[in-house]
Amino acid sequence: MKFRAAMATVAAVPIALGLAACGNDKPEATGYKPSPSASTPVATTAAPVKPAPVAHLNRVTFVPAMNAALTKQKSWRILGTMTANGQTVLTMKGIQTADPVAMSMEMTGAAFQGKTAKIVVVKKAAYMSIPGMTPAGKYVKIAAGDAGEFGELLSGSDPTKIFKSFDSSVATVKFVRTETIGGQTLDRYAVTVNTAKALAAQGKKVPAGVPKTLTYSMWMDKSHRIGRMSFDLSGVSMVMNLTDYNKPVSITAPPASKIVSR
């Protein structure tokens, strides 16, 4: 796998992370409930009340739920695997925060000759330690204004931009079924986006060969938090698990002694 492909994958990570929505799907009681009259006996064998049907998200409600959730996210942990032709080519693990926007990620796989690459995004700059490109334990600094796939990584690390792109690009949202994953009961959704509209909303052009639509599988808990997401694109599959929401984390830039020039 080319190094460019690995960077494109990392840049796509926040798309999934930004969808980790916090909410409450418990219906509130409504309507008038009269008190029993003193002269009228109260029935003691009332018919059992059927539970209200669970309200699943749809194309109309999905994006508002995401936008509302954005203000509630603080941090989360990522564990992802990318496969091609049934073979694992890249694994990633890391943490991300929403305010301030920051990310710390480690990636291992064929894209890095089986070694581990490290990327830190903080204060509108990325620090990358890439096997074969930087000395062991050293980082190069990439400023936000730099072009290329590195610039895409920085802009993609801001989940607010991803949320804005979904406003106009979501084509369909379908509830699939309820599944148990990692001991959790999760609702699975199929979310299809118009790739051209999503990229246009982020100020990007559509690369050659990209399909008109892309469908994400997303597994949500009852609080509308994403426990897992996956997608398939051009024969490459990505699965990411999201855990440890809003737990304290610390993401800092590498010290100056570990920064080297490009």
User: Cα–Cα distance between 14 and 73 in angstroms, integer?
Assistant: 13
Alpha helices for the chain (secondary structure H): 3-17, 59-70, 148-156, 159-169, 195-201
- Give the burial class of 92: count Cβ atoms within 10 A of its Cβ; 0-12 exposed, 13-18 middle, 19 or more buried: buried
Please tell me what DSSP assigns to residue 169: H
Q: What is the pTM of this model?
A: 0.71
How many CB atoms are closer than 10 A to CB 1?
A: 15
Question: Quick one: residue 86, left, alpha or beta (phi over 0 = left, psi -120 to 50 = alpha)?
Answer: left
Q: Quote the CA–CA distance of 34 and 159 in Å, as a whole number.
A: 48
Q: According to the model, what pLDDT value does residue 256 have?
A: 93
DSSP 3-state assignment of 257? helix
State CA 182 to chain mean position distance: 18
Q: Do residues 55 and 224 lie in contact, with contact meaning Cβ atoms separated by under 8 Å? A: no
* Geometric angle at alpha carbon 193, from 222 and 104, rounded to 5°: 65
Inter-residue contact 244 to 123 (CB < 8 Å): no
pLDDT given for residue 10 in this prediction: 44
Topology of the domain comprising 3-21+60-101+157-251:
outer membrane lipoprotein receptor (LolB), chain A (2.50.20)
3-state percent helix, strand, coil for the chain, nearest multiple of 5: 25, 35, 40
pLDDT of residue 250: 92
| pLDDT at position 45 | 55
Residue-range domain boundaries for the chain: 3-21+60-101+157-251
Average pLDDT across each block of 10 residues of the chain; the chain has 262 residues. List them in order: 44 38 30 40 53 74 74 84 87 87 88 87 87 90 66 52 68 94 89 84 73 87 82 85 89 94 78
